[in-house]
């Protein structure tokens, strides 16, 4: 009788995962674009904002080619809804962990990762990239440059 699991005492999921099944207000302004950029919230005109603009310019991306979503620390958003709304071929994560999107996968930092028929590039937050030139260089040489700049 001891090999039968006691389902009465099994932990249940809390309501923190409900976000993955609820509609999000953030998705109302999203239209299909090739690139989806997710970053921790940054202030307009800040060093992080300037750095993001420079990165996107170096990738030769104009505003009509990407969606930019800024999330608060530990804010969650459902990937399946994002994918349906934005239809991206490339997702760049600045300081956003894939688990915040309901994804249970391990991605290599500052590298191209293929997941769900989409290229993913996870990296440090813009604030951390500002301080870490080595990571910034790796992001450019190992991921962004081969994907965007070397295509010509």
pLDDT tens per residue, range 37-88: 999 999 999 999 999 999 999 999 999 999 999 999 989 899 999 999 999 9
Distances (CA, A) of 132 to 52, 125, 129, 137: 15, 10, 5, 9
Whole-number pLDDT of residue 120? 98
Q: Whole-angstrom Cα distance, residue 145 to residue 139?
A: 8
Q: Where are the beta strands (DSSP E) in the chain?
A: 35-40, 66-71, 90-94, 113-115, 118-123
Domain 27-151: top CATH class: alpha beta
pLDDT(19) > 80: no
Q: Whole-angstrom Cα distance, residue 133 to residue 111?
A: 16
State the average pLDDT over residues 85-110: 96
Burial status of residue 68 (CB atoms within 10 A of its CB: 0-12, 13-18, 19 or more) = middle
Q: Where are the domains of the chain?
A: 27-151
Are 91 and 147 in contact by the 8 Å Cβ rule? The answer is: no
Between 6 and 104, whose confidence is greater?
104
């Amino acid at each position: 009788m001891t090999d039968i699991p006691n389902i009465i005492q099994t932990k249940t999921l809390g309501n923190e995962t409900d976000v993955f099944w609820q509609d999000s207000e953030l998705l109302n302004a999203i239209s299909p674009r090739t690139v989806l950029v997710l970053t921790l919230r940054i202030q307009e005109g800040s060093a992080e904002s300037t750095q993001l603009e420079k990165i996107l310019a170096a990738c030769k991306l104009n505003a009509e080619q990407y969606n930019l979503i800024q999330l608060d620390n530990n804010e969650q958003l459902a990937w399946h809804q994002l994918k349906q709304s934005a239809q991206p071929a490339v997702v760049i994560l600045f300081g956003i962990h894939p688990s915040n999107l309901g994804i249970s996968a391990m991605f290599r930092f500052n590298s191209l990762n293929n997941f769900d028929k989409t290229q993913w590039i996870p990296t440090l937050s813009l604030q951390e990239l500002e301080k870490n030139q080595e990571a910034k260089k790796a992001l450019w040489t190992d991921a962004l440059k081969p994907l965007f700049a070397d295509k010509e």
